[in-house]
Amino acid sequence: MRPFSYTRARTLTDASQTVSDDRAMAIAGGTNLLDLMKLQVETPSQLADINRVGFAEIEDTDDGGLSIGALATNTETAVHPRVRADYPVLSRAILAGATQQLRNKATNGGNLCQRTRCYYFTNIDQPCNKREPGSGCGAIDGIAKLHAILGTSDQCIATYPGDMAVALSALDAQVQIATSDGGSRTVPVRDFHCLPGDTPWRENVLEPGEIITAITLPAPVGGTQLYRKVRERSSYAFALVSVAAIVELEDGRFSRADLAFGGVAHKPWHDPRVADALIGKAPSPELFDRAADILLEDAQGFGENDFKIPLARRTLHAVLEQAVEEAS
C-alpha cells in the first residue's frame, strides 16, 4: 500500500472535485479497492470517502420504477421488499455474489466498478495490459480458466466478475452519473462497461470526476426472473458462467426473453439477437440450441477456458427450461 491522503467528502461536489484528479479515487465500501491497494494494483494518492454524501436511498420513481442509490449496500438492495417483489432477478444475482459480510459492506455503485479477478491483474510482478499498458497479457498463454470467451482482444481476456450488473443488464437498468461540471447523465447498464479492445485499462465509461449516484430500474417487467450462477464451489466463488433471465410466454410462445450473461466477457454480455431468436417461438431444445448458436457464434476459448463455450450453451438450456417450467 502506498501512502495516500484521505478526505471525507461532505457533498457530491466535494467528492467530484477530488476525484477529478486522476490519481485520486472515490472509496465507498472498499471491499475491492482496499484489497487492490494492499497489493499495489491500485495506488491512488488520495481517497475521497463518499460514504456520507447521501445517495443511499432506495425509492420509487415517477414512472413506477425504482431508483437504487449508489451508496445503498448490496444487502440492503437484495432484501428490499420492492426489489424482491418486482425485480427478483436482481435480488438473486446479488445474493449469488461474494459473502454476507462483503455484501453488507459493498455498495451498488462500487459493485458496478469492481475490477476483474484475473490472476495476472492482481499480481504486480506479472505482465498485464490492464494494469500496466504495454506490459503484455499474462493470461493469454497462462492460466485462463476464469477468462472470457466473448469480446476479447489480443490485449486482454479478463472478465467482469460481478453478478449484480448481469441482472441489471437483463433488466435494462440505467446508471445515473453525476458529472464533474455539476450536471448529470444517464448511461444504460448495457453500455456502462467497455470491451477491452486496445484500451483494456478502461473498464467503464466513467470520466474523471464522475461519480455514480444511482441505478434506476424500469417499471416492473414481470415475467419469470431467474439468476443461474455456475461455480466451482457453492458460495464465495466467481461465476464460470452466469445467466440472468427474464422470460415470459404467451400462448406457448416466448413473448419476452431478456438474457444477460456473466463470466464470459469483459462486461455483462447482452446480445439482443438472442431474444430475437426466441421471441414468437415455442420453446424446444432445438430452439434453445439456435439461441445458443447465435450467442456463441464468435466465442473463442484460450485452452483452459474452452469448456465455457459448451457450459454457456448448457446453462442457457437449463435456465430456459426452468423458466418455461415456472412460467407455464
Partner 1 sequence: MTVHFKQDKPDESNRLDDMRQGVIGKALPRVEGLAKVTGTATYAAEYSIDNCAEGVLVTSTITRGEVTSIDRDAALAMPGVIAVIDDPRLTTRAAQGTADEAPQQKPKTVCYWGQPIALVVAETFEQARDATKHLAIEYRVEEGAPLDPNTVEPEEQEDETVHQGDLAHAMSEATHSVDVTYTTRGHASAAMEPHAAIAQWDGDKLTVYASLQMLNYNISELADALDMEEGDIRLVSRFVGGGFGSKLGISEEAVAASIAAKELGRPVRVVMSRQQVFQCIMRRSETTQRLRLCTDANGTLTGFGHEALVSNLPGEEFAEPVLQSSHFLYGGENRELMLKVARIHRMTAGSVRAPGEAVGMPALEAAMDVLAEEVGIDPVELRLKNIPEKNPEEGLPFSSHKLAECLRQGAEAFGWDRGPRKPRQTREGEWWVGTGMASAARVHNVSEAKARVTLKPDGTALVETDMTDIGTGTYTILSQIAGEMLGLSPDRVLVDLGDTRHPRGPGSGGSWGAASIGSAVYVACQAIREELASRLDVEEAELDLSDGKAGSGESIVDLLDGKDLAREGYYEPGDIADDYTASGFGAFFAQVRVNRFTGEARVDRMLGAFGFGRVLNHKTARSQCLGGITWSIGVALTEALEFDPRDGHLVNPDLAEYHVPVHRDVPDLDVIMVEERDPAASPIQAKGIGELGMCGGAAAIANAIYNASGARVFDFPMTPDRVLAAMPD
Residue 70 CB, nearest approach to partner 1 (Å): 24
Strand partners, 184: 178
Interface residue with partner 1 among 123, 153, 199, 255 (CB under 8 A) is 123
CA-CA-CA-CA torsion for 201, 205, 208, 210, nearest 10 degrees? Answer: -140
- How many chain residues interact with partner 1 (CB under 8 A)? 36
The amino acid present at 47, given as its one-letter code, is L
The amino acid present at 101, given as its one-letter code, is Q
Interface residue with partner 1 among 62, 63, 125, 286 (CB under 8 A) is 125
- Within 113-233, residue ranges assigned H as helices are 164-170, 189-192
Residue 114 CB, nearest approach to partner 1 (Å): 12
36 binds partner 1 (CB under 8 A): no
Q: Which CA distances in Å does 262 have to 173, 239, 265, 303, 316? A: 16, 7, 7, 19, 12
Interface residue with partner 1 among 136, 142, 197, 301 (CB under 8 A) is 142
Closer Cβ to partner 1, 1 or 219, answer by number: 1
Closer Cβ to partner 1, 82 or 145, answer by number: 145
Interface residue with partner 1 among 82, 105, 231, 290 (CB under 8 A) is 231
Interface residue with partner 1 among 1, 85, 219, 282 (CB under 8 A) is 1
Q: Which CA distances in Å does 163 have to 68, 84, 132, 227, 242? A: 16, 16, 26, 9, 8
What grid cell was written down for 122?
Answer: 492482481
CA atoms of 154 and 289, how far apart (whole Å): 29
Contact 275, 258 (CB under 8 A): yes
- Within 96-195, residue ranges assigned H as helices are 100-105, 108-112, 164-170, 189-192
Kindly indicate which of the ranges 16-24, 58-66, 140-148, 181-189 contains the residues binding partner 1, using the contact rule CB under 8 A.
Answer: 140-148
Interface residue with partner 1 among 20, 235, 285, 326 (CB under 8 A) is 235
Residue 273 CB, nearest approach to partner 1 (Å): 22
Interface residue with partner 1 among 234, 251, 286, 328 (CB under 8 A) is 234
List Cβ neighbours of 50 (8 Å cut-off, separation of 6 or more): 9, 12, 15, 26, 27, 28, 71, 211
Interface residue with partner 1 among 75, 290, 322, 327 (CB under 8 A) is 322
Closer Cβ to partner 1, 79 or 237, answer by number: 237
Among the listed residues 213, 109, 217, 99, the one whose alpha carbon sits nearest the alpha carbon of residue 167: 217
Hey, which residues between 158 and 217 contact partner 1 (CB under 8 A)?
none
6 binds partner 1 (CB under 8 A): no
159: exposed, middle or buried (Cβ count in 10 Å: 0-12, 13-18, 19+) = buried
The 302-321 site mask, x for binding partner 1 (CB under 8 A), equals -----x--xx--xx-xx---
287 binds partner 1 (CB under 8 A): no
Among the listed residues 271, 269, 292, 290, the one whose alpha carbon sits nearest the alpha carbon of residue 281: 290
Kindly indicate which of the ranges 36-44, 60-68, 87-95, 129-137 contains the residues binding partner 1, using the contact rule CB under 8 A.
Answer: 36-44
How many alpha carbons lie under 13 Å from residue 275 in its C-beta half-sphere? 18
The 99-118 site mask, x for binding partner 1 (CB under 8 A), equals ------------------x-
Sites of contact with partner 1 (CB under 8 A): 1-3, 38-40, 117, 119-120, 123-126, 138, 141-143, 145, 230-237, 240-241, 307, 310-311, 314-315, 317-318, 322
